[in-house]
Structure 1
């Protein structure tokens, strides 16, 4: 990753979402509302350096806040392995920079409108929003020194061009707030499902698969377990794969169904969802018998990984139906 120039010439036009002037105005209103809050509530708001953002909260959490502090957006997904490398770096730096920027995490599977609005081509993808204007920073995982360099350039640009310097946060206050939040009672969890998630996060894919299967044996309709099982199986299939060799094998042997399936798996893990679906639909179209059924079943499995309500899944299901019938 090469850090981008922080000039505003690369800004994405968000005028269709909200003009910068309006964002500033609403941010001032939000500041006034916070000032009227009790001190404890103000402190809690001040230490929210990392926030999960959805489409409903985008205006308040990103556009309005961007008039006070640079907002860095991390587009990610649970199944994306590079995201799991980058996100902890961004979260740690958000705490370290102590209010000079805010990190907004957006799950692309749950927020397709935002994914499309920003023109994201693959994940992880990192953008910034300053005074209602969006700036693409970089795509893909990157080592911490390069991420720091980009963030430093962003903060400098925000201060020089917009006079936005963020709000310093007391590290001890932030730590106390996190401890208080962690101490809040949590709803009871399914221990087997929790063990499956822990195994998946630890990279124990075989253990995760077995644990998710155990959950589904007792609860066949458990959607969380179905999603986790699909993710674990997908990651196990691509584990240790040489991407260049896999893609070359598929290009050299278009009729090799296994080779096409392997590339589709790599595409999905890399965030190229439409490419994965398109490849498998084409494979279904030009095959017959067992080969066609193999490609069809794999495509349905990938639908489960992405989620049945995802617009890309809905579109691909329609395309698959046209090919089959």
Structure 2
């Protein structure tokens, strides 16, 4: 197993378009609740290792992932290697003192989770951040490589989602931490929040304009770039007749609008490689302004998935071969 460059991108989840902004808000809310004395009894216990079941997955994993990275280790009783890995992960959970929570899921008792995560064998380790799953590694690994992966995960959680697990004494209950009063939101943060709200209400045009407003003042805002690319994608596929779009694309491989529309549907449907392959092939078949139009759309879709995603890296290489 080699440590990987982590990307929270993957199959496009339309419900998670605003995940980064919402996760930051949830993390702030969770920290505020921990400070409230009225919630002291509810927050006093914060176990670093939990047993995950299908019945408790939503409350113990999905909800908790809004305030701390959750690592899930799939294991089986007859797979000794998976039990040994769990022992290492449990010890690391204590050493990391609350920067991540470990959940262990026995595969035969949780067949639905096993299938939903697409686990091919055990041991298999995933992470959940802000309700989104990402694979970490499969099989056993040296401890130094495991800690490198965990360090990457914790960095992604803080940088992309504002999620920072509260420090916990492994042998004691976690006491509410005293924190400084939250700082006022900046104008850019308020504009970004307005964009998220518009998207949440189904106002795609309003969301697109709000994201553009942020980028006009702060062109390098990565969250606004991602939000704009995803909002525009949702706007393009809204109300599309999928059968008609795919039939038109199949009938005219060189029809640029037809191929662009089909690629959007591919991406929204989770067929990321198909979307990229379709547009790379269309670049190969076109020239001039048509070629440039397809190339720019492909770069937009790269933004939706994320520059570090291996499928984006592969598609960029294929695009470069076609262009040069």
Taking structure 2 as the reference length, the TM-score comes to 0.47
Q: Which structure has more RCO (C-alpha within 8 Å, separation ≥ 6)?
A: 2
